[in-house]
């Protein structure tokens, strides 16, 4: 099963890279430009938008309220759909796939016209998706691909492979590896939830940049743990589990040495990693914080960037993704061509997809990217002035 998942992830990466190359939308870590064709932002959406959704109902299911991003995703999608007259049923599933499956079943029963699903374990919805198929209800996978099913009509996401690649390239530049720095630098790697297809793509993107430095000995993984998911996955993207694993690594391998760089695929893990580093005395003279990556630009993590505890976080503008989903929903229900710019193979079919653009925030640009753009208020961010 794990081998199958790994193969699947490699296939997905290949398809995605080809698709991205074809539409010329691949980015460099220096890319801080605005997405070329973002839809308008729901938070600024005027009330007088065409009511394309009048009389239509959309079922939206999100994985959990425990991470900041899904609260924002849910709120943005709901607001943007309602601004167009849709009725919305929005549910959160406390990271339990069986709970989400019942929620989707209810939405099918209540006669939803479209289902938007951000799954927990993308390969574990089988039965409920077949019910959607039998009822002829279009399904849009939201941010996470629905795998091993022939019932996933569209997929709206960010450039997932690009996320990992951007994190790898950030590390490469921060340590000067691309300029020939020889280190050696101590690296430890973390991966996301093994039931989340994105986690495979994040890992693949980062390792495609970093593996050559590990092979040449410039990056040294003292624990020897680099394999995703077997050695480095963190179930449910849980901060405490990441903290515990970092504690164990520091105790076992860094009693007389320091870690120089930690690859974290997202911000919930980076929060746990920083907590662990802090309690081990990092951030003091002679023990600087390592280069540490992240993703989502959670408010807490932007605070960590400001305080120098975390180096960067990938910014995924959930307003842009929400609008992409609304554009897809409108087009599906109007029988028009659905906007796509990529294809993901989910193990059974090629799913027509839309990759929204990513950027990264660090200590130099966080304010411009996150506050001046109106995404956050300055007062939302701990320690910001
Ligand atoms: C998302 C990330 C998020 C992670 C944990 C992934 O599927 O793409 O943005 O950090 O889930 O919620």
Interhelix angle 197-215/160-174, rounded to 10 degrees, is: 30
Q: Quote the pLDDT of residue 47.
A: 54
Does ligand 1 come within 6 angstroms of the Cβ of 95?
no
| Alpha helices (runs of H) in the chain, residue ranges in sequence order | 2-23, 68-83, 97-109, 126-134, 160-174, 197-215, 239-253, 267-279, 299-306, 318-334, 366
Whether residue 311 sits in one domain with residue 165 = yes
Q: Residues 184, 309: one domain?
A: yes
The pLDDT of residue 383: 86
Cα(242)–Cα(276) distance, rounded to whole angstroms?
A: 9
111 and 131, same domain (yes or no): yes
- Contact between 309 and 262 under an 8 Å Cβ cutoff? The reply is no
Tokens, residue 120? 């927990």
**CA end-to-end span of the chain, whole Å?**
49
Residue located nearest, by CA, to atom 9 of ligand 1: 296
Determine if ligand 1 sits within 6 Å of the CB of residue 271. Answer: no
The answer as to whether 193 is a domain residue is: yes
Any domain includes 222: yes
**H-run or E-run covering 350:** strand 350-356
> Are 200 and 220 within one domain?
yes
Write out the two tokens for 122: 């993308």
pLDDT at 147: 97
Q: Per DSSP, what are the bridge partners of residue 61? A: 91, 117
Task: Give pLDDT < 50 ranges for the chain.
Answer: 1-4, 6-43, 45
Within this chain, do residues 203 and 288 fall inside the same structural domain, yes or no? yes
Assess whether 325 and 188 both reside in one domain. Answer: no
Question: What pLDDT is stored for residue 36 in this prediction?
Answer: 33
Q: Are the CB atoms for 193 and 237 separated by under 8 Å? A: yes
Name the residue with tokens 């961010």. Answer: 381
Q: Is residue 290 part of a domain?
A: yes
Torsion angle of the four alpha carbons 161, 300, 140, 25, in this order, in degrees rounded to the nearest 10: -40
Q: Is the CB of 266 under 6 A from ligand 1?
A: yes
Give yes or no: residues 120 and 195 share one domain. Answer: no
In a domain, 129, yes or no: yes
108 and 177 together in one domain = no
Tell me which of 9, 141, 192 to substitute to probe ligand 1's pocket, judged by most ligand atoms within 8 Å of the beta carbon.
Answer: 192
Q: Residue 200 contacts by C-beta under 8 Å, 6 or more apart in sequence?
A: 5, 6, 8, 9, 12, 13, 228, 229
Report the alpha-carbon distance of residue 339 to residue 190 in Å, rounded. 34
Q: Cα separation of 83 and 115, whole Å? A: 18
Q: What CATH number corresponds to the domain at position 256?
A: 3.40.50.2300
- Positive or negative, the CA dihedral 43, 49, 50, 54 is positive
180 assigned to some structural domain: yes
Residue 300: CA atoms inside 13 Å, Cβ hemisphere, count?
Answer: 14
In a domain, 385, yes or no: no
Quick check: CB of 198 below 6 Å from ligand 1? Answer: yes
Residue 102, domain member (yes or no): yes
Beta bridge partners of 185: 219
Ligand 1 in reach of 119 Cβ (< 6 A) = no
Which pLDDT belongs to residue 208? 98
φ, ψ for residue 126 (rounded to 5)? -25, -70
Residue 275 within a domain: yes
Residues 336, 341, 346, 348, Cα dihedral to 10°: 50
Sign of CA dihedral 345, 351, 357, 361: negative
> Which has the closest alpha carbon to 37: 354, 335, 316, 296?
354
Q: How many CB atoms lie within 10 A of CB 260?
A: 20
Name beta bridge partners: 186: 220
Shared domain check, 352 and 303: no
Do 167 and 212 lie in one domain? The reply is yes
d(CA 65, CA 299): 15
Region of residue 122 (phi > 0: left; psi between -120 and 50: alpha; otherwise: beta): alpha
Which residue's CA is minimally distant from atom 3 of ligand 1? 266
Residues 144 and 271 in one domain: no
Are residues 125 and 205 both part of a single domain? no
Give the predicted TM-score (pTM) of the model. Answer: 0.88
The H or E element containing residue 368 is none
Pairing of strands 261-263, 291-292: parallel
262 vs 275: CA distance, rounded Å:
13
Residue owning the nearest CA to atom 5 of ligand 1: 237
- Per-residue pLDDT of 150-208, as tens digits, reads 999 999 999 999 999 999 999 999 999 999 999 999 999 999 999 999 999 999 999 99
| Domain count for the chain | 2
Residues 6 or more apart whose CB falls under 8 angstroms from that of 139 comprise 114, 115, 117, 129, 132, 146, 151, 152, 153, 154
- Please tell me the residue having the least CA distance from ligand 1 atom 6: 198
Give pLDDT, residue 183: 93
**DSSP letter (8 states) at residue 250:** H
Give the pairing type, strands 261-263 and 219-220. Answer: unpaired
Domain coverage including residue 135: 57-152+318-356
């Amino acid at each position: 099963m794990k081998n199958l998942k790994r193969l699947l992830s490699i296939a997905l990466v290949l398809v995605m890279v080809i698709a991205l190359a074809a539409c010329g939308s691949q980015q460099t870590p220096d890319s801080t430009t605005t997405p070329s064709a973002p839809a308008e932002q729901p938070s600024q959406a005027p009330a007088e938008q065409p009511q394309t959704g009048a009389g239509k109902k959309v079922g939206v299911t999100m994985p959990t309220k425990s991470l900041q991003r899904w609260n924002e995703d849910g709120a943005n999608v709901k607001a943007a759909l309602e601004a167009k007259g849709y009725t919305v049923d929005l549910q959160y599933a406390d990271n339990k796939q069986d709970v989400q499956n019942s929620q989707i079943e209810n939405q099918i029963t209540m006669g939803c016209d479209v289902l938007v699903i951000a799954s927990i374990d993308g390969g574990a919805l089988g039965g409920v998706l077949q019910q959607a198929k039998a009822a002829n209800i279009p399904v849009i996978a939201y941010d996470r691909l629905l795998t091993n099913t022939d019932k996933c009509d569209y997929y709206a996401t960010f450039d997932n492979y690009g996320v990992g690649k951007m994190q790898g390239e950030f590390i490469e530049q921060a340590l000067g590896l691309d300029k020939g720095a020889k280190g050696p630098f101590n690296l430890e790697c973390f991966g996301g939830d093994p039931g989340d297809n994105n986690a495979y793509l994040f890992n693949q993107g980062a390792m495609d940049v970093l593996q050559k430095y590990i092979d040449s000995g410039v990056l040294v993984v003292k624990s020897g743990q680099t394999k995703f998911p077997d050695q480095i996955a963190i179930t449910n993207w849980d901060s405490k589990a990441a903290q515990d694993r970092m504690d164990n690594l520091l105790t076992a391998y860094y009693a007389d040495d320091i870690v120089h760089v930690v690859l974290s695929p997202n911000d919930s893990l980076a929060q746990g990693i920083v907590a662990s580093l802090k309690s081990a005395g990092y951030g003091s003279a002679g023990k600087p914080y390592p280069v540490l990556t992240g993703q989502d630009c959670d408010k807490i993590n932007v605070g960590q960037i400001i305080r120098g505890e975390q180096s960067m976080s990938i910014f995924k503008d959930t307003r842009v993704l929400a609008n992409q989903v609304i554009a897809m929903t409108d087009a599906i229900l109007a029988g028009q061509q659905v906007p796509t710019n990529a294809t993901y193979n989910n193990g059974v079919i090629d799913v027509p997809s839309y990759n929204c653009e990513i950027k990264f925030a660090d200590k130099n640009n966080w304010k411009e990217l996150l506050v001046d753009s109106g995404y956050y208020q300055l007062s939302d961010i701990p320690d910001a002035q």
